Amino acid sequence: MTSKRVDAYDYTPVAVMFIILSCTIAVGTNLSQFICIGRFTDVSFQVIGHMKTILVLIMGFLFFGKEGLNLQVVIGMIIAVVGMIWYGNASSKPGGKERRSHSLPTSRQHKHGSLSESTEIDGKV
């Protein structure tokens, strides 16, 4: 624990630039997740979230040193990336969920004279 207060910190222009950059990246990340929620399946959204976590870890190791980086962490990241690539390939094939249409199939019954115009409109909705 530190005894310094946040408002007592000497904010240099470089520190302010990194704070603004960090906030901009955070807003962009949240906005991209909001856009992705309605467009992807639940599993795809989780895969994207895991990829974001792996990118954060890699960037942290690159910028702040290799402390905490060991063979087990590297193997875990490699397995996760291979799994994401495998899932992406599997879901984009003809039977995959990403290619399926999200609209409900409608069956149209054409019985002349037995359906009123309002029930035909309801069937289309």
pLDDT per position as a tens digit, 46-98: 887 888 888 888 888 888 888 878 888 889 888 988 988 888 888 778 876 65
**Number of other residues whose CB lies within 10 A of the CB of residue 113:** 5
Q: What is the pLDDT of residue 37?
A: 80
Mean pLDDT value across the chain: 76
Between 124 and 52, the more confident residue is: 52
Let me know: does 108 contact 123? Beta carbons within 8 Å: yes
Residue 99 dihedral angles phi and psi, to the nearest 5°: -90, -15
Indicate the pLDDT class of residue 13, thresholds 50, 70 and 90. Answer: very high
What is the reported pTM? 0.49
The CA-based angle 94-98-101, given to 5 degrees, is: 85
